[in-house]
Amino acid sequence: MGSSLAGEMPPEAFLRPSPVHRIASHSAAPSRMPRFSARQSASSKFSADAMAVAGAMALGVTGGFQASRRSCRTRELRARIARAMSPMSPGDYGLPPKLAGMAGALSALPNDRMRYQQLMALAGKLKPMADDLKVPENKVPGCLSVVHVHASLEEDGTVTFQGDSDALISKGLVALLVLCLSGCTPEEIAGVQPEFIKASGISASLTPGRNNGFFNMFKLMNKKVARLKAAKAAESGESGAMKAGEDTETEETPELQIYNTLSRSKEAFKTLEPGKVKMYVCGVTVYDLCHLGHARVMVFFDIVARFLRHLGYDVTFVRNVTDIDDKIIKRSQETGETAEELARRMEEEMARDAKSLGCTSPDFEPRVSESIEEITSMVETLVKKDFAYAGKGDVYFRVRRFETYGRLSRCSLDGNEAGARVEVADVKEAPEDFVLWKSAKPSEPSWESPWGPGRPGWHIECSAMAKRYLGDTLDIHGGGPDLVFPHHENEIAQSEAANDQPYVKTWMHCAAVRSTGNEKMSKSLGNFVTIRDVLKQYDGEVVRFYLLSSQYRRPMMYSEEALEEAQERLLKLYSSLRGAAGAQTESPDPECEQQHRFLAAMANDTNLLNRPTDHMRKRIAKDFDTVNAIAALTDLSRELLQLQQGDHGAEFQTKARQLRAMGAVLGILQRDPEEVCKGPVDSDFEAKVEDLIQARADARKAKDFTKADAIRDELTGMGVVIEDGAKGTSWRVASLA
């Protein structure tokens, strides 16, 4: 068995904090539970001692706890220990002895903090998991942090588990299951009811996300055990072996709601494969600089990928680059470049803009020019299946042959025009048929094909590239609203006709940015504002914040006033983080030090005791509601601004980490606030601030704290952070660089 098993360490070690988290322990008996400082009440010490004895008795431990036993000689104490143990006997919830003992000991603890400390101690008992076991099939879906579990069946018929997580409390939950279920038989494990976590007292103090993560850990462990048992039964020829493709895992609890353009309604998000998301987004045709409409699509789907990964999904994000198109050819002739030279130059500019906006790179960014083989192969399939026909070197799709055409856009064939980006040719059987392959024209790029030299049509490109990287069916396909028809409608027809499989489960479309005059911003209309032009006046993070400040399915109006407002709001968020790195974090008082260490450990686990983060997560889960998510950020920043005015070092540090963690989901607030929050101050502004600070000092001296607080709030609204110290009040004004 692996070295992480419970059987290889003394049982009392389960309830002994690791050295990192240990607090004022008894020196005479190293195996005893630590007790708190003398400032604690007698009842607290009593509960700690009772917990130690209860845990030891539940685990069958007799040595190393004699001192605690001597303190428990009264009948009252013994009765309380018995009552603490009684709700979690081994028979409850089908728990094996080790797990029953641990659950009983945890339920006997007097408060949530002590339970968290014991989970942290358990986390320290897990040996590192081998990297070769941290593979997708061992990754627990639906967890806020990255969690892996692995199971193996020993010769004696018992199961050995291994596990790990990159977050401390999640690792403690993994350890609770791994250490206490290793050495059990598959039948014993199958009989465990995971609801024991509620009776143990742990569940009530975990965020909903952590609770869901625990149940998902347990489900995956059970699934692995069932497969091991089935494999062994199959080897021995026993009946009851799992059938090929059978899956014991139940569906995850619906959490994320997404508006599906196909159904015109919000739907609970369910993946094709547990824990994995395949997402394709239509990219830019690279013939000019990107405008703010492109920026909105880039930023929004960057948020989608970030949030799905935040929820624990393994996301494969593909966004294509259309580097061969009529518009590229025309523009290259105007600039004197080749089509390839222009496309590469504009592709680099697009990547530069995306980086300035804080967008992470997709996992794959295939170019059309490098996907010709996949494109011609799909066209050949469509021709063979009679969904397409050739004429004069061109190939067209028979739209009326695809019976469900129009279900995404709700367009009638009678009203359809003859495709887009292509002239109507006399070889077409019907006006609505669209081109899959265009015959070569003089001085235009072309590739060899079964129908002669030519280049791909617009729509077939995405179908072929999506299939290459993601398979026949996608979880999510996204783009701008102008792509619903004809592009995405035609993608569905091509892909489903070629692959005989549904093409996309969830269609998402991010609305346009409108220019002055309420027109959609587009290159073809010539009314666009480039990302590059906006970045000359505003920081990329400000532009990102501005784009997230509107509901993604609603068109947003471009205005410099809105950008100014976004800059001011983002600046206030950064102002609330000032001093996070240098705030008071230590105290000579043992209890304060203990509290700080606890809060610091919690803060490093970005979602533990993180109600604001969980609250924001719920808001984003409602169809990526970034507007209300930003409101949650603002609420927490107000708390931080209040804490900046007093001696709240540990709490301030914890909430500052929470705000940064929340911001990370949206791709903001990750820079040094001290660097962001500095800028020139004119003399009139400085004089006004000084007058307000003096008025506040006078109000405090007169004990008019209501007035003093009102002045402080006014200063905060001006973007000014005041810092009271022994030498008086200092202040700083911020402006986002």
DSSP 8-state assignment for residue 485:
I
Q: What pLDDT is attached to residue 421? A: 45
Tokens of 569: 């709001």
What pLDDT digit, counting tens, does each position of 475-488 carry?
999 999 999 999 99
With cut-offs at 50, 70 and 90, classify the pLDDT of residue 593. Answer: very low
CATH 3.40.50.1000 for the 565-676 domain, yes or no: no
Contact call for residues 247 and 653 (beta carbons, < 8 A): no
Count of helices and strands (H, E) across the chain? 25, 16
Contact call for residues 368 and 455 (beta carbons, < 8 A): no
What pLDDT digit, counting tens, does each position of 428-462 carry?
999 999 999 999 999 899 999 999 999 999 999 99
What pLDDT digit, counting tens, does each position of 194-239 carry?
888 887 888 776 766 677 788 889 989 988 988 888 877 777 665 4
Contact call for residues 712 and 724 (beta carbons, < 8 A): no
What order of strands is seen across the sheet that includes strand 388-391?
Answer: 388-391, 394-397, 434-439, 454-456
Distance of CA 652 to the CA centre of its chain: 24
Contact call for residues 88 and 104 (beta carbons, < 8 A): yes
Q: How far is Cα 167 from Cα 116, in angstroms, rounded to an integer?
A: 13
Q: How far is Cα 459 from Cα 480, in angstroms, rounded to an integer?
A: 15
- Mean pLDDT, rounded, for 67-79: 43
Cα–Cα–Cα angle for 619, 623, 624, nearest 5°? Answer: 60
3-state SS, one letter per residue, for 533-565: HHHCCCCHHHHHHHHHCCCCCCCEECCHHHHHH
The amino acid at residue 75 is: R
CATH architecture, domain defined by 6-236: Alpha-Beta Complex (3.90)
Question: Where do the H-state alpha helices sit in 241-325?
Answer: 292-310
Return left, alpha or beta for 428; rule: phi > 0 is left, psi -120 to 50 is alpha, else beta. beta
Q: How far is Cα 193 from Cα 92, in angstroms, rounded to an integer?
A: 9
| Poorest-pLDDT segment among 18-32, 163-177, 305-319, 415-429 | 18-32
The string of DSSP letters for 560-591 reads: HHHHHHHHHHHHHHHHHTTTTTTS----SSHH
Among 109-113, 302-306, 532-536, top mean pLDDT goes to 302-306
Helix, strand, coil tally for the chain in percent (to 5): 50, 10, 40
- How many Cα atoms sit within 13 Å of 170 on the Cβ side? 30
Pick from 72, 12, 73: nearest CA to 48? 72
DSSP 8-state assignment for residue 61:
-
Contact call for residues 341 and 334 (beta carbons, < 8 A): no
Q: How far is Cα 182 from Cα 98, in angstroms, rounded to an integer?
A: 10
Domain layout of the chain by residue ranges? 6-236, 254-558, 565-676, 683-733
Contact call for residues 127 and 4 (beta carbons, < 8 A): yes
**H/E element, 165:** strand 159-165
Q: How far is Cα 380 from Cα 619, in angstroms, rounded to an integer?
A: 46
Give the 3-state secondary structure of residue 396: strand
Give the 3-state secondary structure of residue 254: coil
Instruction: Tally Cβ neighbours within 10 Å of residue 700.
Output: 17
Q: How far is Cα 311 from Cα 334, in angstroms, rounded to an integer?
A: 47
Write phi, then psi, for 436 (nearest 5 degrees): -105, -35
With cut-offs at 50, 70 and 90, classify the pLDDT of residue 523. Answer: low
What pLDDT digit, counting tens, does each position of 248-267 carry?
333 333 379 999 999 999 99
Give the 3-state secondary structure of residue 107: helix
Q: How far is Cα 634 from Cα 3, in angstroms, rounded to an integer?
A: 47
Among 344-353, 692-701, 713-722, top mean pLDDT goes to 344-353
Give the 3-state secondary structure of residue 685: helix
Q: What pLDDT is attached to residue 409? A: 95
3-state SS, one letter per residue, for 603-669: HHCCCCCCHHHHHHHHHHCECCCHHHHHHHHHHHHHHHHHHCCCCCHHHHHHHHHHHHHHHHHHCCC
Predicted confidence (pLDDT) at residue 41 exceeds the cutoff of 70? no
With cut-offs at 50, 70 and 90, classify the pLDDT of residue 30. Answer: very low
Question: Where do the H-state alpha helices sit in 471-530?
Answer: 489-499
Contact call for residues 689 and 733 (beta carbons, < 8 A): yes
Q: How far is Cα 192 from Cα 93, in angstroms, rounded to an integer?
A: 6
- Mean pLDDT, rounded, for 35-58: 38
Contact call for residues 502 and 496 (beta carbons, < 8 A): yes
Q: What pLDDT is attached to residue 206? A: 73
The residue ranking higher by pLDDT, 376 or 421, is 376
Predicted confidence (pLDDT) at residue 415 exceeds the cutoff of 50? yes
Tokens 């617009």, located at residue: 458
The string of DSSP letters for 310-373 reads: HTT-EEEEEE-BB---HHHHHHHHHHT--HHHHHHHHHHHHHHHHHHTTPPPPSB--BGGG-HH
Q: What pLDDT is attached to residue 648? A: 65
Write phi, then psi, for 265 (nearest 5 degrees): -155, 165
Tokens 């059978």, located at residue: 246
Q: What pLDDT is attached to residue 427? A: 84
Tokens of 88: 């979690």
Write phi, then psi, for 9 (nearest 5 degrees): -135, 155
Contact call for residues 736 and 567 (beta carbons, < 8 A): yes
- Mean pLDDT, rounded, for 718-722: 72
Tokens 């011609």, located at residue: 376
Give the 3-state secondary structure of residue 389: strand
Contact call for residues 460 and 384 (beta carbons, < 8 A): no
- Helix 611-620 to helix 626-643 angle, to the nearest 10 degrees? 160
| Poorest-pLDDT segment among 8-22, 301-315, 510-524, 712-726 | 8-22
Q: What pLDDT is attached to residue 210? A: 75
For the chain, percent of residues with pLDDT exceeding 70:
74
Q: How far is Cα 294 from Cα 354, in angstroms, rounded to an integer?
A: 10
Q: What pLDDT is attached to residue 652? A: 85
With cut-offs at 50, 70 and 90, classify the pLDDT of residue 629. Answer: very high
DSSP 8-state assignment for residue 192:
-
How many residues does this entry show for the chain? Answer: 737
The amino acid at residue 22 is: R
Write phi, then psi, for 653 (nearest 5 degrees): -60, -40
- Helix 590-604 to helix 112-123 angle, to the nearest 10 degrees? 60
Tokens 């003859």, located at residue: 418
Predicted confidence (pLDDT) at residue 14 exceeds the cutoff of 70? no
Contact call for residues 283 and 365 (beta carbons, < 8 A): yes
Domain 254-558: which topology? Rossmann fold (3.40.50)
pTM, 2 dp:
0.61
Q: What pLDDT is attached to residue 243? A: 39
| Poorest-pLDDT segment among 82-91, 109-118, 452-461 | 82-91
Q: How far is Cα 220 from Cα 217, in angstroms, rounded to an integer?
A: 5
Give the 3-state secondary structure of residue 228: helix
The strand pairing partners of 159, in sequence order, are: 153
